[in-house]
Structure 1
Amino acid sequence: MLPAGSACGQGPMSAAPLVGYSSSGSEEDEAEAPAAGRSKPVSGVRRCGQNPLLTQRFPVPDSVLSMFSTTEERPEDDRTKHGGRIRTFPHERGNWATHIYIPYEVKEEFLDLLDMLLHRAQAFEPRLVGMEEFHLSLSQSVVLRHHWIVPFVQVLKEHMASFQRFFFTANQVKIYTNQEKTRTFIGLEVSSGHGQFLDLVSAVDRVMEEFDLTTFYQDPSFHVSLAWCVGDARLQLEGQCLRELQEIVDKFEDSEMLLRGLAEQVRCKSGNKFFSVPLK
């Protein structure tokens, strides 16, 4: 969950209060404080009838001290588990990366086209790998606290209630990077249906504002990502590579119909939870 629980930022709780703790504070106070009109007993001398266990202090085992540590361990960000990608925000317990998008259902012929594009692009940037799932984003990745997920999805459903499904076409090859320039993408930009996507984003932005979250980009380029690599690879992929990729798309058999999609639902992914909002 990948768009992730929060370490409290405090160090381990001091062991001193535990070492000095007594099951009955009043008994120890009486033993330490001198009575009125008489001097305090000399250290090390036990008064008659006093239980020696009341004044003897035993060391607290390390296993007990560790039970009261308030430090939370952050999950290790092992890049090898997600292709070397760098998180745009730290993974924290109780925080869930959340993303809203339109799924893009592909046909087998689309995968044939993807293979051709990827093979050509890898001649310019060998690190590229193909996407396994396809979608068009309606939001940035934002962070939701776990207890806000259900009300967030409910508000999203309310804002999507009036929208109808629509067809769109994505057939313009473009090169993208994320804001941090830590990843580069090859995508197909929407050439028809742009207005409907803008309307959806406007509604999603209102949901984000209600929860004080980041809204979508200004002048967004709606697209389907096809392949990606770590780092900023625009220099390698723009220019000659981009022109050759566009030629492959334009010449591919029935590409106009193949690259036509239907927006019939909005999905929200929050951590490992998925929510679907059908359009009318």
Structure 2
Amino acid sequence: MALVDYSSSDSASEIDQPPAKRRKPAGAVAETKAGGNAASQDGDSALPPLPAEFHDLYASTVRTSTADDPTLHQGRKRSTPHMVGHWPSHVYIEWHPSASQHALLCTFVAEIASLLGSKKLNALLTSELHTPLPLHVSLSRPLSLTTAQKDGFLSDLTSSVASAATGGPFKLSPRGVGFFKSPDSDRAFLVLRVANPAASQDSTKNGKNPQLRALLTKCNAVAMRFDQKPLYQARATELIDDAFHVSIAWSFGLPPEEACLQTYEMLRRPEFRAIREWEIDVSGVKAKIGNVVTNVPLRDNSNSKSADADTLLE
């Protein structure tokens, strides 16, 4: 896949004859200097956007060790130790916040960090190279697939996600904030709880997250088929609906109770109310197996019968 689809006809045939320079009026020089930044920004915005698949090509960081080394990861340890011949895997929905959303999230995390005193809060928003990181909603626990399992797992997951009753792409919005203690490690995560904004207005029938629950059911079934533990095993609809979240920071252990209570109220503050109005577009589910990321698009299954019939006729 080409990174950017520029025409190859813009060739070097013109290199030997650079365009003639034009003399600018005296008044234009000052105007150019004053508006230089704006002109540069306009020029950048004219570039075609990178395709969504570009993010999947560079979804992994460079490995600097062949063994698990917590000192390379801020003291973190794998919940599932790495074994030769096994592929660390994860199923999730990916979200790339806009520049303005990223900036507000950074301010939001910094404000909460100030409530924790000596306990360090590690943001999950920016890489070591100071570039924004994608965020995600998990649809599986950390998985460990054998080489013999990984192709079958991806095939089954693709079929299951395609048949999930989501009605095609949908939207999510942040609905709350809090700390979540990981059952698999000693870390606590600062999370934004997410829900379908339309379903949240009338959650009496289908709950607040009908699409996420449908996807989770499919993903858990595939995981258990390959001897993996399911995610969110609670049977009550309301408990599962409130479990879906986006992690934005972490700390070792839960913060003091008073800090947690203050955190719960942060989205009510005027400067952070806009976060609840954000919409996260969900058009597919991603499966990361080792360093390979595969996007599985959602489809509207209301037309699935006719589509399947057409396929059989072909």
Q: TM-score, normalised by structure 1?
A: 0.67
Distance 1:177 1:87 in 2: 16
More helix by share: 2
Contact residue 98 and residue 144 of structure 1 kept, 8 A: yes
Which structure 2 residue ranges, 5 or more long, are not aligned? 1-58, 125-132, 197-207, 300-314
Q: Distance in 1 between matches of 2:255 and 2:275?
A: 26
Structure 1: stretches of 5+ with no match in the other structure: 3-73
Measure the CA separation in 2 of the matches of 1:253 and 1:239: 17
Q: Tell me, what secondary structure is at the counterpart of 2:251?
A: strand
Larger Rg: 1
C-alpha displacement of 1:234: 5.6
Sort the Cα spacing of 1:199 and 1:137 in 2 relative to 1 into closer, same or farther, 3 A: same
Residue matched to 1:166: 170
% same residue: 26
8 Å Cα contact 1:181/1:231 also seen in 2 = no
Contact 1:184 1:234 in 2 (8 A): no
CA distance in 2, matches of 1:172, 1:77: 34
Which of the residues 122, 126, 134 maps onto 1:129?
A: 122
Deviations 1:22-64 (A, max 9, x none): xxxxxxxxxxxxxxxxxxxxxxxxxxxxxxxxxxxxxxxxxxx
Asked if 1:272 corresponds to 2:298, the answer is: no
Pairing partner for 1:216 from 200, 223, 231 = 231
Q: What is the one-letter code of the residue matched to 1:277?
A: V
Q: Which residue of 2 aligns with 1:199?
A: 214
> Equivalents in 1 of 2:80, 2:218: separation in Å?
25
1:155 and 2:156 equivalent? yes
Quote the residue 1:69 is aligned against.
Answer: none
Secondary structure of 2:295 counterpart: strand
Following TM superposition, by how much is the alpha carbon of 1:80 offset from its aligned partner in structure 2, in angstroms?
Answer: 1.5
Q: Higher mean Cα deviation, 141-150 or 233-242?
A: 233-242
Identify the match of residue 189 of structure 2 among 172, 185, 188.
185
- Structure 2 Cα separation of the partners of residues 78 and 223 of structure 1: 28
Determine if contact 2:179/2:254 at 8 Å carries over to the other structure: no
Measure the CA separation in 2 of the matches of 1:231 and 1:256.
27
Q: Using the TM superposition, give the Cα deviation of residue 181 of structure 1 relative to its aligned residue in structure 2, in angstroms.
A: 4.7
The CA deviation string for residues 172-210 of structure 1, in whole angstroms up to 9 with x for no partner, is 112111104511111111132511100000111121122
Aligned residue identity for 2:267: Q
RMSD: 2.3
Between the aligned partners of 1:167 and 1:241, the Cα distance in structure 2 is 25
Task: Show the counterpart of 2:81.
Answer: 90
**1:153–1:181 Cα change, 3 Å:** closer
Aligned residues of 1:98 and 1:142 also touching (Cα < 8 A) = yes
- What CA distance in whole angstroms lies between the structure 1 residues aligned with 2:67 and 2:224? 31
Equivalent residue of 2:280, what SS? strand
- Taking the TM superposition and a 5 Å limit, the aligned residue runs for 1:64-83 are 75-83=66-74
Amino acid at match of 2:298: L
| Preserved CA contact (<8 Å) 2:174 2:195 | yes
Task: Name 1:105's counterpart in structure 2.
Answer: 96
Deviation at 1:162, TM superposition (A): 2.8
Distance 2:121 2:176 in 1: 19
Is 1:246 aligned to 2:267, yes or no? yes
Task: Provide the C-alpha distance between the structure 1 equivalents of 2:249 and 2:175, rounded to a whole number of angstroms.
Answer: 15
Aligned equivalents of 2:147 and 2:245: distance in 1?
A: 29
The letter of the residue matching 1:109 is: S
Give the Cα separation in 2 of the matches to 1:234 and 1:279.
41
For 1:148, what is the secondary structure of its paired residue?
A: helix
User: Using the alignment, how far apart are the partners of 2:284 and 2:72 within structure 1?
Assistant: 30
Q: Could you tell me how far 1:241 is from its partner in structure 2?
A: 3.3
